[in-house]
Each structure stands twice: as structure tokens, then as C-alpha cells.
Amino acid sequence: MSEFRVLFVDDEKELVDTLVERLQYRDIEATYELNGASAIERLRYEKFDVVILDLKLPGISGAETLKVINKEHPDIPVLIITGHGSVAEIEDMPKGAIEYLPKPINIDDLIGRMRSAITGNEQ
Amino acid sequence: MNNNINDIEDRYPADTELKFSGTIIASSTHELNNVISILNQTGGLLEDFLFAAENGSPIPHEKLKNIADKIRIHSERGIEIIKHLNKFAHSSDLMHGPFNLNDLIENLSALIERFVSLKGAALSIELPSNKIEVTNFPFKVQQVIFMALKIILSNTQKGDSVKLSIVGNESNSKIKIELVTERECLLPDLSGLKNYTGKINADLISDKKSGSVFIEINIPAYVSNESA
């Protein structure tokens, strides 16, 4: 049985495909949406324990997507992944994210941070 | 303090070249970061399979083939990004001189495609079969095209198309940035952009017709180094 369920929201299909496969290999149920609108829609009828959200998304931005998720699902922790070299340099840093993860992501680090976000414990 | 970028551009026009370079570099390195992330995770997946193989689960041939394909495709994607970014960086080597407009547009379009796709729209380019040679300021020309694109993108929505093309002929070539949409759009406001076209001696027009709004930048075949 899966430890928890995670939804990736990122338009880099090949990246999330691979991350999903690697997490499933570790008995973590993972899936993805390629844009904010479809992620918002999916979260309305499917339960996830954590969301991993990219800031740069086509159409509705990552920041706007985060706002909607926080409003509609205040209990679901959202971790932001970003290609920015430094989190401090993000101009439109949205409020409401649990944590920022710079790309490239280390899979074990990602799992640890997801667990912490779900349980509410510091890593 | 007002940090609105348009205000900053109005007050410090010389800094906009630096801002333009920074924007292109930031976008391209984001793309490169994505490519490296994919390669990084694909390498990790291969390690996962090798670990499983050591514990008695053979690696399916199809899985290995997928990994090899992914590494090849994304390495090539990374090489293309670096090639375009390098060409862009070298376009400032010679601030003024002769250059091929088709090549300039082709290279720039590869670098700005992400700005269009982030709007949920698609970018296409249409270039004439004959090469258009002009003498002008290549870096400045790119900056004006990008600024015009930003104006067009402010009206762009998901499902729209943006077309970048060269129309006219060698003696009278125009770069056309066109938003193809069924929505009713306002005519683009070019007042801010006109501050930047003096050096390249370009005329600007904006217009709209059924299904599209566009900006045309008239690029003279020859502009002196003494211009503006």
C-alpha cells in the first residue's frame, strides 16, 4: 500500500514522468498534471496528500494555481519547485507554499520534504 | 519606491539592453535547468533499475531503450539551447554591421518561444526563402522585436497563436509580430516602444484585421553607424 499520494504540477512531461516512475518504485503513489487549470480541476475530485508545484506554468501561473489550491484545499501542503538559482531572487514569490525546492531535485531529499510537509514535522 | 519595470525602462532606457539580456539568459538557463533535471532523474532511474537487477529483477530491454532515447533527446535539446544562447551572446560582438535578418529571427525565436508557451499559446515563424541582408545594430534589432513581442503577449491568452515573420523584400523588409486570435483585441499601444527604435531607424505600425492584431517593424536595408 502506498505511503502517500502526490500530485506533480509541471509542464516538463519527461521530468514528471521520470519522477513519478522513481517514486512508484519506492511505493509512493504519484501522478501529474501539465498545467494549473487541470491540476485545480483534478484536486476537486481526487484526494492527494501533497502537491509539488512548478512556478513556471503555461496559462494559469504557478502562483495563481497555489492561491486556488490554498483556498480550496487548505489542508493539502504545497511544495514549490523552481528553476531559479536562488529562492531569494524570485520576483513573484507567492505566499502559501510550505517550502521551495530548487531544480534539479534529489529524490531522497524530495521524499523527506514531502513526508515532513504531510506530518507537519521539521526535517 | 515604484519598481514597475515599465517605469524603470522609461527612466533608464540604457539599462534596458542589460535587462533584455538578463531576461533572455534567465529564460534559457531555466530551460537548461529543466534539461539537466530530466537527465539527472533519468540517470537516477537507471540506478534504480541497476539496484533492482542486483537483487534479481532483470531490467526490461524496453525500459533501457526508453532511458537511452531520453538521454539522447534531452542532450540534443540542451545542445540546441546552448547553441542559440551562444549565438545571441555573440550578436553583441559587433554592435553595428551587416547581418542576415532571417538567421537573426530564427535564432531569437528559439530563445523567446518559452515566453509564448507560458501564455498557453504557440509560436510559429515564417521566413522568406531568400536571405535578407541588412546593415544595422543586430542586438538592438532583437531588443525591439522582443519588446514588441511583450506588447503582443500582454493580449495573448491560452489557445492563441503568435506568428513572427519577415514580410516585404530586401530593400523594404518588415518584421511582423502577429497575434492570431478570434477574440476582440485592442490595437497595441506603441508609444513606449517608439523610444527604442530611433537607433535602428525603424518605423513602427500596429493594426488589426479580422482574427489578428499585429505590430510591424520596418527595418531599413542600411543604417549608418552614426544613427541616433
Instruction: Name the residue ranges covered by the structural domains of chain A.
Output: 5-119
- Contact status, residue B180 vs residue B163, Cβ threshold 8 Å: yes
pLDDT (0 to 100) of residue A85 = 65
Q: Is the dihedral of CA B8, A88, A37, A74 positive or negative?
A: negative
Q: Nearest C-alpha of chain A: how many angstroms from B34?
A: 7
pLDDT (0 to 100) of residue A101 = 87
Shared domain check, B212 and B123: yes
CA B182/CA B66 separation, integer angstroms:
40
Q: Is B92 helix (H, G, I), strand (E, B) or coil?
A: coil
pLDDT (0 to 100) of residue A47 = 96
pLDDT (0 to 100) of residue B102 = 96
pLDDT (0 to 100) of residue A39 = 98
pLDDT (0 to 100) of residue B198 = 84
B5: nearest CA in chain A? A91
- Residue B137 belongs to a domain: yes
Burial A62-75 (b: 16+ CB within 10 A, else e): bbbbbbebeeebee
Domain with B134 in it: what CATH number? 3.30.565.10
pLDDT range class, residue A65, cuts 50, 70, 90: very high
- Residue B228 belongs to a domain: no
Shared domain check, B214 and B130: yes
Contacts 24+ apart (CB under 8 A), B21-26: B21/B92, B23/B146, B24/B85, B24/B88, B24/B111, B24/B112, B24/B146, B25/B85
Shared domain check, B103 and B66: no
Domain finish residue from B36, B68, B90: B90
Shared domain check, B214 and B101: yes
Q: Tell me how crowded residue B165 is: count the other CB atoms within 10 A of its CB.
A: 17
Shared domain check, B122 and B10: no
B118: nearest CA in chain A? A58
Lowest mean per-residue pLDDT among A4-18, A44-58, B64-78, B186-200: B186-200
Shared domain check, B86 and B104: no
Average pLDDT taken over every residue of chain B: 90
Residues 123-182 of B with CB under 8 A from A: 158
Shared domain check, B177 and B144: yes
Is the predicted pLDDT of residue A121 greater than 80, yes or no? no
Q: Nearest C-alpha of chain A: how many angstroms from B177?
A: 20
What digits encode the pLDDT tens for the residues B33-84?
999 999 999 999 999 999 999 999 999 999 999 999 999 999 999 999 999 9
pLDDT (0 to 100) of residue B30 = 93
- Residue B227 belongs to a domain: no
Domain finish residue from B59, B90, B121: B90
For the residues B157-168, what does the mean pLDDT come to?
A: 93
Is the predicted pLDDT of residue A123 greater than 80, yes or no? no
B33:A105 CB<8 A: no
Of residues B194 and B81, the one with the higher pLDDT is: B81
- Contact status, residue A118 vs residue A77, Cβ threshold 8 Å: yes
B44:A59 CB<8 A: no
Peptide bond between residue B220 and the one before it cis (omega within 30 degrees of 0):
no
pLDDT (0 to 100) of residue B11 = 53
Give yes or no for A13 touching B (CB within 8 A). no
B41:A59 CB<8 A: no
- Residue B65 belongs to a domain: yes
Torsion angle of the four alpha carbons A107, A108, A110, A112, in this order, in degrees rounded to the nearest 10: 170
Calculate what percentage of chain B has a pLDDT beyond 90: 73
- What fold, for A5-119? Rossmann fold (3.40.50)
For the residues A35-62, what does the mean pLDDT come to?
A: 95
What cell was used for B92? Answer: 553583441
Q: Tell me how crowded residue B111 is: count the other CB atoms within 10 A of its CB.
A: 21
A82: nearest CA in chain B? B30
Which residue has 476582440 as its cell numbers? B184
**Residue of A14, A25, A57 lying closest to B74 (CB–CB):** A14
Bridge partners, residue B164, by sequence:
B125, B177
pLDDT (0 to 100) of residue A87 = 60
CA–CA distances in Å: residue B156 to residues A93, B90, B160? 23, 30, 6
B34:A57 CB<8 A: no
- Contact status, residue B26 vs residue B115, Cβ threshold 8 Å: no
Shared domain check, B178 and B118: yes
Shared domain check, B193 and B123: yes
Q: Nearest C-alpha of chain A: how many angstroms from B207?
A: 25
ipTM of this complex: 0.90
pLDDT (0 to 100) of residue B5 = 47
Shared domain check, B10 and B68: yes
Domain count for chain B? 2
Which amino acid, residue A23?
Answer: L
B118:A19 CB<8 A: no
Q: Which domain range does residue B197 map to?
A: 97-220
Is the predicted pLDDT of residue A89 greater than 60, yes or no? no
Domain finish residue from B67, B90, B113: B90
What digits encode the pLDDT tens for the residues B93-124?
988 999 999 999 999 999 999 999 999 999 99
What cell was used for B199? Answer: 537607433
Shared domain check, B53 and B14: yes
pLDDT range class, residue B3, cuts 50, 70, 90: very low
- Residue B40 belongs to a domain: yes
Give yes or no for A83 touching B (CB within 8 A). yes
Of residues B175 and A90, the one with the higher pLDDT is: B175
Q: Nearest C-alpha of chain A: how many angstroms from B53?
A: 13
Shared domain check, B116 and B48: no
